[in-house]
Structures are given as structure tokens and as C-alpha cells.
Amino acid sequence: AQSVAQPEDQVNVAEGNPLTVKCTYSVSGNPYLFWYVQYPNRGLQFLLKYITGDNLVKGSYGFEAEFNKSQTSFHLKKPSALVSDSALYFCAVRDTGGATNKLIFGTGTLLAVQP
Amino acid sequence: DGGITQSPKYLFRKEGQNVTLSCEQNLNHDAMYWYRQDPGQGLRLIYYSQIVNDFQKGDIAEGYSVSREKKESFPLTVTSAQKNPTAFYLCASSLPPGTAFGGYTFGSGTRLTVV
């Protein structure tokens, strides 16, 4: 079955420190991978995507993610966290079973950045 | 600016009532989706539509209905058969399969509460 796992419900980091939010996936074929961010009572906002090409993908607000095919991972990273980065982060992968663009989402990771 | 508009932002439903959540997009996207978000469970797909006058059940379609009479509109009805409708509902849209798929654009959500 195709799936996305975000193993940490919450990640705590001090402002100015690097942050990593983990994501692993399981799909058949080549994955299309995405990260979204959600602020309270808001919709999801696109951060970055991996479709093909360089394994290191740069996105919005200074975030980046590294695609690792052998480990089936797509971890989200930022060199220096800001308090304003505190939000809920979702990893997603395109469902490759069928002619659709359905996305399968992880359960989300709450990032808390302490001042 | 192009985007997706969900209304209302907050909705209260009495027991036994049907309620309809609105979703309108002006992005010229063919595909539209409805997700339900519950704490700790991520996003679960209710219904999706890849083209006007066609839609498919997602993973949790029971107690919900949709229509797709216009490309721009994909309303979701929460029927009295849905026994636990209290949740945050998110509408999204995307390009169809076979195009340069870059992920979803999300609306800002509707919070439905049973009173």
C-alpha cells in the first residue's frame, strides 16, 4: 500500500538552531513528493516539491528538503529556525495507483520554535 | 489573483440537518478535492473530481455527497448520515494527470461543528 509516514508528532527547536522534520514514503514507481505548512485555522500552503532532478530541493521561507531514494525519505530542513516557523507541517506523495493526481498525506508534525 | 474560496469559514449543524460547504476556484484547474482534517489523523480524502460532471469516492465518502456541475465549483454536502461531522474541511484543486502537476492549491477551510 502506498503511504507517507511522519514519525514525530512534534519537533521542538530553539530559535536560531537548525531544524529537521522527517518524512518517509512508500510508493511504486517514481515519487512526486511535497511539503506543505498549515497555520492555525488556515488551509495548507505549498513549501516545496520534488518531481525529478537534484536531490536537494529549495523552497519558500528558507526551507529545503533532501530526496533520498535509497532510504525512501524526504526530510524537511532549515539552517536557522524562526519563532514564526512554528506551525503544522505535512509531507505528501502523489498516489501512483491510477490515472489521478491524488495526494496521500502524512499525519503532520507540529513544529514548535522556542525564543 | 487566482485562488480557491471556501465558505463559510465556520458552520454549525444541528443533529439531523444536511449542510453544504462551498468551494469555488478561478485557477482553471480541472481537478478538485475535498479532505477532512481531524487532530492527529492528517488529511483524509472524501471525494475528488477530475472533470466536470464526474466525481469519485475517496477513502471516507460515507455520509457525504458532492456535485460538479461547473468547472469552478465543487460543493460538499454533509448529510445527516454522517455521524461524526465535527471537523475541519479543506478543498483543493490541481491540474489533471498528464500535465505539469505541481501539487495542490488549498482553500482556507471550513470548520464544521455539531451543536
In A, minimum Cα distance to B43 occurs at: A105
Q: Do B103 and A46 touch (CB under 8 A)?
A: yes
Q: What is the mean pLDDT of residues B15-34?
A: 94
A59-98 pLDDT, tens digit each: 999 999 999 999 999 999 999 999 999 999 999 999 877 7
Name chain B contacts of A103, Cβ cutoff 8 Å. 103-104
∠ CA B30-B32-B37, nearest 5°, is 165
In B, minimum Cα distance to A110 occurs at: B40
pLDDT value at position B15?
A: 84
For chain B positions 46-75, those within 8 Å of chain A (CB to CB) are 48, 50, 56, 58
Strands (E), B1-115: 4-7, 10-13, 19-25, 31-38, 42-51, 54-57, 64-66, 76-78, 87-94, 105-106, 110-114
User: pLDDT category, B39, cuts 50, 70, 90?
Assistant: confident
Q: Which residues contact A25 (CB under 8 A, 6 or more apart)?
A: A3, A4, A5, A31, A33, A72, A73, A74, A91, A93
Q: Do B97 and A106 touch (CB under 8 A)?
A: no
Q: Which amino acid is at A4?
A: V
User: Is A108 an interface residue toward B (CB < 8 Å)?
Assistant: yes
A20-47 pLDDT, tens digit each: 999 999 998 889 999 999 998 889 999 9
How far is residue B105's CA from residue B51's CA, in Å, rounded to a whole number?
17
Is the pLDDT at B1 greater than 70? The verdict is no
pLDDT value at position B16?
A: 85
In A, minimum Cα distance to B50 occurs at: A100
SS3 state of residue A60? helix
Is the pLDDT at B30 greater than 80? The verdict is yes
Cell matching residue A107: 499525519
Count Cα neighbours of A19 within 13 Å in the Cβ-side half-sphere.
Answer: 28
If we measure between CA atoms, which residue out of B112, B101, B114, B16 comes closest to residue B50?
B101
Nearest to B101 among A43, A90, A101 (CB): A101
How far is residue B106's CA from residue B10's CA, in Å, rounded to a whole number?
17
CA distance A92 to chain B (A): 9
Name chain A contacts of B25, Cβ cutoff 8 Å. none
B76-108 pLDDT, tens digit each: 999 988 889 999 999 999 988 777 778 899 999
Name chain A contacts of B43, Cβ cutoff 8 Å. 44, 90, 105
